[in-house]
Amino acid sequence: MEENNFVGSLNNLHTPIFYMGLDCSSRAVHAVVLDLNERIIAKGKWSSTCSDFTDRFPEMLMKFNDGLSKIKVTLKAAVESAIFIQNPKSTIEIASVVGAVSFICCIRSVTCVLVDNRHWKKVVLGKGNLNKKDIKAFAVEKWGDVFPEQDYADAACIALWNKRRSENG
């Protein structure tokens, strides 16, 4: 689903609350929104064609901010915390995106929590050290083959963790 359809598909619904999972990288922000029945309601991606992170960062975050500003339903968001990567530059870039996404959620009145990837994997998948292939297999089994990119499957599982966490207090 294109980022423009992301907003429209949410605003046409009348459910009181939705759960959004956000998976951030230095190249894009992927979001998946679930309803109370754990159905995927919307998928969104905000990215940039710029090759340099210094140019890409503000463009993709402005797009994310613009998209979130148009949503009129109540969202509870969970953002996967930045992970440590051997390359310090990549670690800093991902942490910058995670921080900016969390801040944008805050200024847009979207309740937002950070979650460590090992934690949501353990809760949702039963094991905290599963790999991308395992995550995708779980997501496809639960929701069907509706993930054009791995990051959407990750975001869906983060949204599922968020929904179940909210229900269980």
CATH of the domain at 59: 3.30.420.10
Output the furthest CA–CA distance in the chain (Å, rounded).
45
The CB density around residue 89, as the number of other CB atoms within 10 Å, is 10
Global pTM?
0.91
**Helix, strand or coil for residue 151?**
helix
Domain count, the chain: 1
Domain hosting 105: range is 3-168
Identify the residue whose tokens are 């779980």. Answer: 138
Whether 92 and 28 have beta carbons less than 8 Å apart is answered as no
pLDDT digits (tens, 9 = 90+) for 77-129: 999 999 888 789 999 999 999 999 999 999 999 999 999 999 999 999 999 89
